[in-house]
Amino acid sequence: MERDRLLLFLQKLTLNRKNVKEMMDANGSRVLVDLLTLAHMHTSRATVPTQSNVIEASPDMWRESEKEWYYGNLEKERRGPFSLVEMKELYDGGTIHIKTRCWAQGLDGWRPLYTIPQLKWCLVASGAAVMNESDLATLILNMLIRICEYYPSRDADGAIVRPLPRAKRLLSEAHCLPHLVQLLLTFDPILVEKVATLLCLVMQDNPCISRLYLTGVFFFIMMYTGSNVLPLANFLKYTHMKQAFRVDDARSTDIMQQSILGHIMPDAMVCYLENYGAEKFAEIFLGEFDTPEAIWSGEMRRLMIEKIAAHLGEFSPRLHSNTRALYQYCPIPAVNYPQLEEELFCSIYYLRHLCDTQHFPNWPIKEPVKLLKDILDAWKQEVEKKPPTMSIDDAYKVLELKAAAGGYDENKIRKAYFRLAQKFHPDKNPDGRDMFEQVNKAYEFLCSKSSKTGAGPDPQNIVLILRSQSILFGRHKDELHPYKYAGYPMLIKTIRMETGDDALFSKPAALLPAATELAYHTVNCSALNAEELRREQGIEYLEEALSRCTAMLGAGSAPGDMVVQVCTHVTKCYAVAAQFEGCRGKILEKPAIVKELCRSLFFKHLTQLCTIAAECVSAFAVDHDLQTRMFEAGALYHLLLFLFNYDYTLDEGGVAKSSDTNQQAVANSLAKLSVWALSRLGGYLSDAHATPHNKSIQTAVEALLTPYLAKKLSDNEPEKLLKILNSNTENPYLIWDNATRAELAEYLEVEQTRKIRTGECDPSYGAVFVFSVHAKELIVGDVFVRIYNEQPSFIIERAKKFTIDLLEYLASQAQYLYSLLQLEKSGKVPDSSTRLRQVEMALEALRNIIQNNPGVEIQCIGQFRLLFCLLRLNGCDRLQQHALEVIASVTKNLECVNDIAASKVLVYLLLLLNSLPVCQLTVIETLYALTSSTMIIKEAVQKGGLLYLLDLFCNSTNPQVREKTAELFAKMLADKLLGPRVRIILAKFLPGIFMDAMRDSPQTAAHMFDGTHENPELIWNESVRHKVMVTIKRMKHEFYNAQLENPDFLWNLSEEMEVIYAEVRGELMIGDVYLRILVSNPGWVLRKPKEFTSELLDKFIALCSSKQVDGETLEAVTQAIVSLFSAQRNLCDQVPGLGHIPLIFEAMACRNGTVSKAAILVTHQLANSESCIQTMAQVESIAPMKLAMKIRKDMIGLACETINKLFQKEQDELVLQAIKAEMVPYLLGLLDGALPDVENPAGTKAQIVKALKAMARSLKFGEQINAMLSKSTVWSQYKEQMHDLFISDTNTAGYLTGAPGMAGYLTQGNSRMPTAVPVAPPEP
């Protein structure tokens, strides 16, 4: 057919935009729309399996609705109506022809048959069509879409184009737009999708969009049964809020008033479309949803389609007969969905679903503030709900229907409505507007549920409103915090009315739990709300509700009971309100609030209620008066009992737990909250959680829980406290076991029951409660002293305070201890006194706390007189021992040592060395620490401490005591101020070597005392030892008796007093060295060799310088020097530094032959040291030597050997001295002589020759020496000869007699090697 091919050609031409303009100029748009209407004629299109295909043609529908056509005969008579089939028969029969004027609804007047597209193509046209009607329409729609896309409604910058592009303006005209819209009734998926797309393009920024609804497009779209609804949804999203229709329903929301879909779809679907967009709406529209924001299903969609189809009536079938029929718009009454009859929609949510926290626990709320306002409006409307202004009979009368028993069905009501709506529609009847509105109102009333339900507020709706507000405040506290709640008047009124209702506990809709819950959430949200609640007298009305409900609580009450819920919510509300001072004042004005709160805690099986009540107790604790009120109401009895239901194994077991399924988890949580409440109730916490300090409550808690556990309340670690409470523990702070728990629980249960039933209880509220087991213990500073002594390493939290408490306790026992001292003097010391035992335990605890807590010992300062006086209690050995241990423990602290020194109490410690032998070692160690103070050493010397210690060192049978005593002596000797005095005193009893040995090794000193010795430094044997021991023991005994009677008695030792024994009488002793034994044993390693050498040379010089030379002593000293230097050559190197060499040569120059001889002997030994030779070169040494040789000719041999040693070191200064002293001629003279006084002349001359040759080698003075030698005839005889064979390798040069290493003229004395040090003390 040419038509179809022309369309295909046009379709190609539209690919060029220029052709489109020419086509529009030729009125092509209208022609294309006329052809589009033929799509209604396509009856053989495939049936799409849709979700809800509710529009099905029936034979009756077809016959009733297809007679649409009229024609005029030659007589201008109107004939008809005829159906399209009948018109075809008339045309085929020749009754009508192409020029016959025809008319049908939708045409603008009578028109020839050939100009009417439907009749032209259905009756006149011949040939086979290339495309069916649907394909034809699809092609045209594609062309129109392309044309509209050529002419967008906005420019490149997004600005709206005005006037509207011509292509869209033409399609918006009345003879095009309705027919485009009515293509939706073909329900062809492709056509519907194309039409929706085209309409979106045409309506974009179209001024005509506001009247689009008159085409019925929204009815047609919502009737579509297919699933390709996204283009439709896009169209709806763009247009549904832009329609200029009139709504008289003031109860609808804003969005429902503005949306043309408000009467068709549920509120939630319209809101979904507007809020979430087309795609999300399409998803919901096609699915099954039952959420707070969308309740929609296929059944609801089918119902909507049925309602719209019924509203449209026969219009859809008419299009099959008359494709240009125009829909006459008539508003549809609101569609009522049975699925939503019990729902309350507010803002964009169904409140019943929003309150269903089990299925929708955390449904997101987009605009909480707006939702709250809408809910408050809904609440106001609900409580102000009045009966409808129109009755059913009035509605029937308006619709001109007679009242009928049982009413009319919807079809008859609808037909009556359509008839009257068409009659009085303002477009047809300008004077019928008022009547038209009454008809609409009557129809809507009869179709709404208002005509079926009773009047007045719906309690179920109010419950939903209250609960939804609670959810809103609970989830969006931060967003709602700045706003004051505006619903308190209605809320308080609801609470007041429900509380006063006699049928409160039998109502099907429980308003009071929901109202009290909302009161809690509003107060919890903002301080503004708390103050508003107080001003609205909410505190008082809530108290009335609480009192009425707590009176109904009992053993059979369950958590879900209304009374339990009300008590829970009111208690939570009070807990929050207590944060505000004004609210606390109101609570204080109502004593019943605290009373009912404590009554709630009595019902242990209602764990959730008890948990909330415990939280409320902790909240009330911010006020001191409220603390006292709760204390007097017996809150402690309830809270403490909850602590014993804790199972620490559940928390430590690592097993997942939930309070919903695990009752023990609930009990554990309640126990922790009770600990928290107790902490705040007594004011134990600090910082941000601090509450007023309540001494009365703390006293009671300490009595009931013990001070140790009470202090744990301040740690804010409930798990640790609860674990201790439910375990058996024994430590210095706590004795806690099954018996103590049972005893406390019994007391609490008795008092709790008495308080609830009679209002009376223990007047002290537990402050005087004492555990039976604790009454037998000594408790000092909240510490069980006995247990602490058994566990001394236990950490005491406040060690300093405990130390002070112990000292105060000991001070409080001072009078008793004084009496004990008097009894001790009379010999009547009680051995088993309980009080004495407690003092002993206190001292032991004091020792332990000092030893395990460094620094606390400073607290003893000022108490040492008391502690030292305890040492006098002879006969109370344990007490003395513990007192001593305390003193020993403090001696590490220098301040304590200084205070002890200032107290002048050392005598009591010294007496203990004799009175308590078992503690001698401890006393010595204590003294050792104390002697770091010079004042203590001074006091020890004055009070006979040295005598007591000497007795221990000499007479004790305990090696360790003796060694420690020696160590103590060493420390005292080291004191810079008093050490010399101590040494002097000790030297009166013991040789000095003992003091040095004590310093070096106390153990060696003790062994030395026990051994037998005879060496250069010590002569010691059994006889000497016995004499010393007896002397010291006797002196100590006498002094102890005197000091015991008078502690101030001093030890006075005369200067002349000295223990002298026969073995050392007549011995020459220098520097604590016996010279006789030293000569016999010169290799003895001296303790102080340098000091001894100095003292020995000092003695030598002194003897040489004396006017009356003691020859015997000088000989002994000289012999000792020679022996010492011969055996220990290294000592010679120290002589130059001592300054004795110049003095020796001065003595050598003396005319006394004895002195000269001694000086030569000493010089001979010194010449073995190079350092001594260097010193000799700096002093006048050669001239004195020459003089001594002349005086003692018998010493010429030794002197020449000495001279040879001197000159061999090539010291020019010595050569110069020799030149000046004319030593060279003198030596040449000796070479020339016979040397009759010399024992070995040849050897002596050999020494002289070597000495002269050494002088001749001097670089500085060698020429002078050679010049003098060359003039000598004697020298010529000796200078070429070798004399080494005449010189012995020994120092004595062959003319000295005696043992090796000893001076030749000295005889070896009897020497005795030191005996071995014994490994154990000798037998007594």
Judge whether residue 830 has pLDDT over 70: no
For 492-547, the pLDDT digits (tens) are 999 999 998 888 888 888 899 999 999 999 999 988 888 899 999 999 999 999 99
Judge whether residue 424 has pLDDT over 50: yes
Amino acid at 1199: A
Residue 22 CB: number of other CB atoms within 10 A?
A: 11
CA dihedral (1164, 1167, 1172, 1178) positive or negative: positive
Q: Please report the pLDDT score of residue 1061 as a whole number.
A: 61
Q: Please report the pLDDT score of residue 252 as a whole number.
A: 57
* Least confident window among 235-239, 664-668, 1066-1070: 1066-1070
Judge whether residue 452 has pLDDT over 60: no
DSSP assigned state of 1214: H
pTM across the whole model: 0.64
Alpha-carbon distance of 489 to 237, in angstroms, equals 40
Instruction: Please state the separation of Cα 241 from the chain's center in Å.
Output: 56
Please state whether beta strands 1018-1020 and 1013-1015 pair in parallel, antiparallel, or not at all (unpaired): antiparallel
DSSP assigned state of 735: E
Q: Which of 17, 270, 252 is nearest to 150 (CA)?
A: 17
HSE-CB for 326 with a 13 A CA cutoff: 14
For 658-689, the pLDDT digits (tens) are 777 788 889 999 999 999 999 999 999 988 88
Exposure b/e, 471-488, CB count within 10 A at least 16 = b:
bbbbbbeebbeeeebebb
Angstrom distances, CA of residue 675 to CA of 672, 716, 833, 888, 1194: 5, 9, 42, 43, 110
Alpha-carbon distance of 3 to 15, in angstroms, equals 19
Judge whether residue 1147 has pLDDT over 70: yes
Judge whether residue 744 has pLDDT over 80: yes
Residues 6+ apart with CB under 8 A from 914: 948, 1036, 1040
Q: Which of 1114, 1101, 1111 is nearest to 1141 (CA)?
A: 1101
Residue 408 — very low, low, confident or very high, per pLDDT cuts 50/70/90? low
Alpha-carbon distance of 1233 to 1225, in angstroms, equals 12
Alpha-carbon distance of 1184 to 1146, in angstroms, equals 7
Residue in the structure block whose two tokens are 């005193």: 985
Q: Which of 1282, 1277, 1253, 1247 is nearest to 1265 (CA)?
A: 1253
Residues 6+ apart with CB under 8 A from 418: 313, 330
Q: Please report the pLDDT score of residue 673 as a whole number.
A: 94
* Average pLDDT over every residue of 810-819: 81
Q: Which of 1153, 1168, 1068, 1071 is nearest to 1122 (CA)?
A: 1168
DSSP assigned state of 209: G
* Average pLDDT over every residue of 223-239: 93
* Average pLDDT over every residue of 551-562: 90
Instruction: Please state the separation of Cα 708 from the chain's center in Å.
Output: 24
Residue in the structure block whose two tokens are 């609570």: 587
Alpha-carbon distance of 80 to 698, in angstroms, equals 106
Judge whether residue 877 has pLDDT over 50: yes
Length of the chain, in residues: 1324
**How would DSSP label each residue in 57-104?**
--HHHHHHH---EEEE-TT--EEEEE-HHHHHHHHHTTSS-TT-EEE-
Judge whether residue 826 has pLDDT over 70: no
For 56-81, the pLDDT digits (tens) are 433 333 344 478 899 987 777 888 88
Q: Please report the pLDDT score of residue 421 as a whole number.
A: 75
Alpha-carbon distance of 529 to 616, in angstroms, equals 18
Average pLDDT, the chain: 85
Q: Which of 679, 880, 711, 884 is nearest to 801 (CA)?
A: 711
Instruction: Answer left, alpha or beta for residue 752, where phi above 0 means left and psi between -120 and 50 means alpha.
Output: alpha
Q: Please report the pLDDT score of residue 900 as a whole number.
A: 92
Q: Please report the pLDDT score of residue 223 as a whole number.
A: 92
Helix (H) or strand (E) holding 1009: helix 1002-1010
Alpha-carbon distance of 284 to 287, in angstroms, equals 5
Q: Report helix, strand and coil shares of the chain as percent, to nearest 5.
A: 65, 5, 35
Q: Which of 83, 85, 88 is nearest to 318 (CA)?
A: 83
Q: Which two tokens stand for residue 528?
A: 């503004």
DSSP assigned state of 728: -
Q: Is 554 exposed, middle or buried (0-12, 13-18, 19+ CB in 10 A)?
A: exposed
Q: Is 543 exposed, middle or buried (0-12, 13-18, 19+ CB in 10 A)?
A: buried
Q: Please report the pLDDT score of residue 456 as a whole number.
A: 65
Instruction: Please state the separation of Cα 1034 from the chain's center in Å.
Output: 70
For 351-404, the pLDDT digits (tens) are 999 999 889 988 999 889 999 999 999 898 888 876 666 777 777 777 777 765
Alpha-carbon distance of 1144 to 1179, in angstroms, equals 11
Rounded to 5°, the CA angle 1220-1225-1231 comes to: 145
Residue 575 — very low, low, confident or very high, per pLDDT cuts 50/70/90? very high
Query: 349 - beta bridge partners?
Result: 346
Q: Please report the pLDDT score of residue 576 as a whole number.
A: 92
Q: Please report the pLDDT score of residue 691 as a whole number.
A: 92
Alpha-carbon distance of 1266 to 414, in angstroms, equals 167
* Average pLDDT over every residue of 569-589: 92
* Average pLDDT over every residue of 558-565: 92
Residue bearing the bigger pLDDT, 1217 or 1060: 1217
Q: Which of 806, 827, 829, 826 is nearest to 816 (CA)?
A: 829
Whether the CB-CB separation of 978 and 971 falls below 8 Å is answered with: no
3-state secondary structure of 1020: strand
For 1171-1182, the pLDDT digits (tens) are 999 999 999 999
Q: Please report the pLDDT score of residue 449 as a whole number.
A: 52
* Average pLDDT over every residue of 189-202: 94
Amino acid at 1106: S
Q: Please report the pLDDT score of residue 1008 as a whole number.
A: 87
Alpha-carbon distance of 723 to 643, in angstroms, equals 10
For 979-1024, the pLDDT digits (tens) are 999 988 988 888 888 888 898 888 988 898 888 888 888 888 888 8
For 898-934, the pLDDT digits (tens) are 999 999 999 999 999 998 899 999 999 999 999 999 9
Q: Which of 587, 355, 568 is nearest to 474 (CA)?
A: 355
CA dihedral (1061, 1064, 1070, 1073) positive or negative: negative
Judge whether residue 570 has pLDDT over 90: yes
Q: Please report the pLDDT score of residue 1314 as a whole number.
A: 38
Q: Please report the pLDDT score of residue 510 as a whole number.
A: 84
Q: Please report the pLDDT score of residue 401 as a whole number.
A: 79
* Average pLDDT over every residue of 164-174: 91
Q: Which two tokens stand for residue 671?
A: 């126990």
Judge whether residue 300 has pLDDT over 60: yes
Residue 184 — very low, low, confident or very high, per pLDDT cuts 50/70/90? very high
Please state whether beta strands 779-780 and 783-784 pair in parallel, antiparallel, or not at all (unpaired): antiparallel
Judge whether residue 829 has pLDDT over 60: no
Longest dimension (CA), the chain: 206
Q: Which two tokens stand for residue 893?
A: 């602290």
For 1245-1293, the pLDDT digits (tens) are 889 899 888 898 888 888 998 988 888 888 888 877 655 544 554 443 3
Whether the CB-CB separation of 906 and 940 falls below 8 Å is answered with: yes
DSSP assigned state of 1195: G
Residue in the structure block whose two tokens are 């204390």: 631
Residue bearing the bigger pLDDT, 1068 or 637: 637
Q: Please report the pLDDT score of residue 1287 as a whole number.
A: 54
